[in-house]
Amino acid sequence: MTSASQKVVGGHYQILHKLGEGGFGTTFLAEDSQRLNSRLVVKQLDYTSNDPEKQKKVEELFQREAETLLKLGDHDQIPYLDAYFQENQKFYLVQELIEGHQLSEELSPGKKFEEHEVIELLEEVLKILQFIHTQGVIHRDIKPENIMRREKDEQLVLIDFGGVKHIVSGAGNTTIQGKNTQIYTPDYAPREQILGRTEFNSDIYPLGIIAIQALTGLAAKDIPRDSRTAEFTWREEAPQVSDRLATVVDKMVRDDFERRYKSVEDVLDDLRELKKTLVLGFQQVKPPVKTGMLKIRLSKKSLLLLSLVLAPLLAVIAFASGFLLFLPKKSPNPSVSDPPNQSEPIVTPQPEATSSSPANNQPSPAATPSPTSSSGEATSPEPEADSSSSAENQEPEPATSDSTPPDSEEGGIFLRPESLQDNQ
Give me the active site residues, please.
141
CA distances from 226 to 221, 231, 296 (A): 14, 5, 56
- With beta carbons less than 8 A apart as the criterion, state whether 171 and 47 touch: yes
Cα–Cα dist 23/166, whole Å: 12
Q: Which amino acid is at 268?
A: L
Please state at what angle helix 264-282 crosses helix 115-134, rounded to 10 degrees: 160
- With beta carbons less than 8 A apart as the criterion, state whether 298 and 424 touch: yes
Cβ neighbours for 9, distance < 8 A, ≥ 6 positions apart: 15, 30, 42, 44, 87, 92
Secondary structure of the chain in the HEC alphabet? CCCHHHCEECCCEEEEEEEEECCCEEEEEEEECCCCCCEEEEEEEECCCCCHHHHHHHHHHHHHHHHHHHHHCCCCCCCCEEEEEEECCEEEEEEECCCEEEHHHCCCCCCCCCHHHHHHHHHHHHHHHHHHHHCCCCCCCCCHHHEEEECCCCCEEECCCCHHHHHHHHCCCCCCCCCCCCCCCHHHCCHHHHCCCCCHHHCHHHHHHHHHHHHHCCCHHHCCECCCCCCECCHHHCCCCCHHHHHHHHHHCCCCCCCCCCCHHHHHHHHHHHHHHHHHHHCCCCCCCCCCCCCCCCCHHHHHHHHHHHHHHHHHHHHHHHHHHCCCCCCCCCCCCCCCCCCCCCCCCCCCCCCCCHHHCCCCCCCCCCCECCCCCECCCCCCCCHHHHHCCCCCCCCCCCCCCCCCCCCCCCCCHHHCCCCC
Strand partners, 27: 20, 43
- With beta carbons less than 8 A apart as the criterion, state whether 28 and 93 touch: no
